[in-house]
Amino acid sequence: MRYFFEKNRMKNKLKGMKNFKSRLIGLSLAGVLLVACNSEFDKVVPESPGMGGIEYKKPKMLYIIADGARGESVRDADIPNIKALIPFSIYSWNSLADENGVNATNWADMVTGVTKAKHNVVSDDFAGNKLAEYPAIFERMKSVNPKLRVAVFASTASFKDKLTAGADVAESPGSDLAVKDKLVDFIKTDTASIIVGQFHDIDVAGKVSEYDLKFPAYKAAIGAFDTRVGEIIAAVKSRPDYSKENWMIIISSNKGGQYTLPAGQDDKTVFSNTKMNTFNMIYNANFKQTFIGKPFVGNFWSGNSPRFLGDPEKTQALTSAAISPNFNFGPDSSFTISVKVKKRKNPNNTGRGDYYYQWPSFMGKRNTAGWGGGNAPGNPGWDFCLFQNGWRFFAAGGTDFINGIEIGGANFSGDTWHDLTVVVERKPDGSRYVRMYTDGVLGVTNDTGGAGSYDGPKGTKDNPVAVEVKLAGKPNFDNNAPLRLGFAPGEMDGPFGKIDVNLAEFKIFNVALPDAVVKQYACDPSIDRSHPYYDNLVGYWPLNEGTGNKLGDLGPLTADLTLGGTFAWEPYNNELMCSPSLSNISTLVPKNIDIPTQILSWFNIARQTSWGLEGKVWISR
């Protein structure tokens, strides 16, 4: 737990508490343990004011950013100066950058403490940014403590121009060597509490070849950076008042870069996205060595599946017109729909992320996907759609529900398999409720507006809310459309609207599966009679034939799907299912947005709710 002390309060509490004071002093000097929890600042090692004649070291911060230093390359490099810090560091070679791989986006994450969804820095020209609303953390800190002195030295001019709000000194000397020289001279004598250095040469070398040590220029750039770090740390330790100061040193890459991993090393998770692979080191002379490794990344499975593409291939699998009415459930029934999906990279990435899509349906029972419908009967039915980096359930039809509702599900990673499940339940109050599960985890990620309601906070992509959504009116999704997998005409956002997915294990139940059952069975590779609701299956398509255009239904209706358009069968061998999403990973490894929160905690400055910070702290005493 953190300790905030007010002088007057402490004077009273310290009377007769000599033993407590001694224990507290010991704790302030002890090493830290990794906790990584979400409470605001129960993880700090600050100075503690108001303790009478006891001397406390003044907190200081050195923050070094290395552009393009891929974490696993740094791990394997000859870097004696950086590795000398390990015995007193919390560190990871598998921390994560933003998925878009843009320098400016990641710099902004590293100095504002919020993601691009808030600061809106999605390109290196900073076009459309919201840095006035989400400024550098230095400005936030100065608003609390105006006497705090901050200095920034940047190799890249745009870093200095856009991301140094609140700094007392902000310079761009023009090269990594010049930044090192400036830092060394400045550190020797200046009183600044926070000193930042941004270095760019590693990224330049990576762009010429790839971001791996097998390329000599990249290897040399990492070695040169380490040498400069050694000189800078030597300058810190040579300060006349060093023994009276309490230095935290953070060294981190802003992002990785393109490198084609050997097949045996590519697990298709975010940890194999070399653009996102960074390293993160948090050093203090009193810390205990704590390594944050790569976490569990999912279950393995194998099989075959059809690949569904949007326009112009228009890959579809449809039931016959005669059997499709069997998958209408009327206004009074409950049902559950589940499918496993693997989405592919969108080739039209423009800073939004490799797997960003805008709106397109990839399965459903509806004539045309998306909003609209106008007057009754409108366009009733339901769709599963790709929704930015996550997904959505779209449903419409019925009394006071003609235009329907869009309910956002959680983000999920690409090129690995995920289970998406929707439960529609009619309850005794006469209303219908929707629950959405991503890999068995309940979560809504948007404010559903007037078409639905629920109590409590509204969800966001980074923070899904575990609630069910009550639908307005008397929803009735019945229609004459065929049950469909794959392409649907309708709402899609230009180049972001072309689906590219593999599908497997498609199931429909004529009952609302309980929460516990969804959680328990979501990541199973198949279903059999051990499932408690096996007899409630009205359709089960494994989608694993591997050849031909028939997708067999193992349910009671034998409602086979027929593939059309341009399609291909693709094998998957030992691929991952239910890999953690990026939002879930944020609880497991450090991310760029964590660093500003760490800086605040070191200086004992409580973050304010209005700042909207999204990071967490990785130290605890």
Residue 203 in domain: yes
Give residue 188's domain range.
78-295+588-611
Residue 511 in domain: yes
CA–CA gap between residue 143 and residue 141 (Å, rounded): 5
Start-to-end CA distance of the chain, whole Å, equals 8
Check if the beta carbon of residue 495 is closer than 8 Å to that of residue 350: no
Q: Are residues 367 and 276 in the same domain?
A: no
Per-residue pLDDT at 1: 33
Phi then psi for residue 215, to 5 deg, are -100, 115
Phi then psi for residue 488, to 5 deg, are -140, 135
Question: What does the mean pLDDT of the chain come to?
Answer: 87
Identify the H or E element spanning 218: helix 216-237
Residue 454 in domain: yes
Our measurement of the distance from residue 36's CA atom to the centroid of its chain's CA atoms, rounded to an integer in Å, reads 16
Residue 142 in domain: yes
Q: Are residues 495 and 409 in the same domain?
A: yes
Residue 139 in domain: yes
Q: Are residues 305 and 225 in the same domain?
A: no
How many domains does one find in the chain? 2
Q: What would the pLDDT profile of 202-234 be if each residue is shown by its tens digit?
A: 999 999 999 999 999 999 999 999 999 999 999
Phi then psi for residue 605, to 5 deg, are -105, 115
CATH code (residue 556): 2.60.120.200
Residue 37 in domain: no
CATH code (residue 264): 3.40.720.10
CA–CA gap between residue 597 and residue 248 (Å, rounded): 13
Q: Are residues 347 and 463 in the same domain?
A: yes
Q: Are residues 369 and 451 in the same domain?
A: yes
Residue 65 in domain: no
Tell me the residue ranges of DSSP E strands in 431-587: 432-438, 441-442, 452-453, 469-471, 474-475, 484-486, 500-509, 537-541, 550-551, 561-564, 568-577
Q: Are residues 477 and 525 in the same domain?
A: yes
Residue 26 in domain: no
Q: Are residues 313 and 269 in the same domain?
A: no
CA–CA gap between residue 254 and residue 439 (Å, rounded): 30
Q: Are residues 343 and 424 in the same domain?
A: yes
Q: Are residues 221 and 343 in the same domain?
A: no
Per-residue pLDDT at 619: 75
Q: What would the pLDDT profile of 166-200 be if each residue is shown by its tens digit?
A: 999 999 998 999 999 999 999 999 999 999 999 99
Check if the beta carbon of residue 533 is closer than 8 Å to that of residue 360: no
Q: Are residues 510 and 523 in the same domain?
A: yes
Q: Are residues 374 and 228 in the same domain?
A: no
**Pair of tokens at residue 58:** 């003044």
Q: What would the pLDDT profile of 359-390 be if each residue is shown by its tens digit?
A: 999 999 998 888 766 666 788 999 999 998 89
Q: Are residues 331 and 260 in the same domain?
A: no
pTM of the model: 0.63
Checking if the pLDDT of 8 tops 50, the result is no
